[in-house]
């Protein structure tokens, strides 16, 4: 899924978060990977948070292996590209256990890391990629699939 932004993300974040595709993904408890500049992904996360399954647990690289056993809800993973292979395995295990939904962010596309062996293939394909891009650059590189 690709969502193009015309101007600053805060102006359009309400529209993005209320888009039917994204609403369906969040309400259907699908796992999402928001790819785009940090200010854009942060704006979309702020607007999606009220729709997420409680409790919403924020985590960053290096902290996934410390989640208490039985933790359920929505796991928000900032900078998923920065996860070690061990953290990626812990995140995939969390997903496989059916403990909840994952909403993750990345400023860089993960597919090149996947191709180079730096990102777990099984985890990548469990995340539904939502590319946030500048509509003035369409169809150029910043919005490339």
CATH of the domain at 113: 3.40.50.300
> How confident is the prediction for the chain on average, in pLDDT?
76
| 95 belongs to a structural domain | yes
* DSSP secondary structure string for all residues of 7-73: S-HHHHHHHHHTSHHHHHHHHTT--EEEES-HHHHHHHHHHHGGGSPSSEEEE-TT-GGGPPTT--E
Residue 136 has pLDDT above 90, yes or no: no
pLDDT mean over 42-59: 83
Q: Look-up: residue for tokens 């909403």?
A: 103
d(CA 145, CA 140): 10
pTM for the complete prediction? 0.76
| 144 belongs to a structural domain | no
Output helix, strand, coil percentages for the chain, rounded to the nearest 5: 45, 20, 35
Phi, psi for residue 78 in degrees, rounded to 5: -80, 140
| 145 belongs to a structural domain | no
pLDDT of the residue at 137? 45
Q: Look-up: residue for tokens 């990345």?
A: 106
Q: Look-up: residue for tokens 């960053």?
A: 60
Residue 119 has pLDDT above 90, yes or no: yes
pLDDT of the residue at 123? 93
| 93 belongs to a structural domain | yes
Read off the pLDDT band of 144 (50, 70, 90): very low
pLDDT of the residue at 36? 86
SS3 105: strand
pLDDT mean over 80-102: 87
Segment 23-44, tens digit of pLDDT: 666 667 688 888 888 888 888 8
| 127 belongs to a structural domain | yes
User: Which residues span the domain enclosing 124?
Assistant: 2-138
pLDDT mean over 5-17: 47
| 143 belongs to a structural domain | no
Phi, psi for residue 11 in degrees, rounded to 5: -70, -40
Residue 63 has pLDDT above 90, yes or no: no
Read off the pLDDT band of 106 (50, 70, 90): very high
**Total domains present in the chain:** 1
């Amino acid at each position: 899924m690709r969502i193009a932004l015309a101007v600053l993300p805060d102006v359009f974040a309400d529209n993005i978060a209320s888009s039917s595709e994204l609403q369906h993904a969040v309400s259907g408890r699908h796992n999402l990977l928001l790819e785009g500049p940090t200010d854009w992904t942060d704006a979309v996360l702020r607007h999606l948070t009220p729709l997420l399954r409680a409790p919403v647990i924020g985590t960053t690289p290096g902290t996934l292996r410390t989640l208490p056993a039985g933790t359920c809800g929505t796991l928000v993973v900032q900078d998923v590209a920065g996860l070690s292979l061990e953290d990626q395995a812990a995140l995939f295990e969390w997903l496989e256990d059916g403990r909840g939904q994952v909403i993750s962010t990345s400023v860089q596309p993960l597919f090149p890391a996947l191709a180079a062996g730096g990102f777990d293939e099984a985890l990548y394909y469990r995340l539904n990629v939502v590319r946030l891009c500048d509509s003035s650059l369409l169809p150029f590189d910043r919005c490339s699939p």
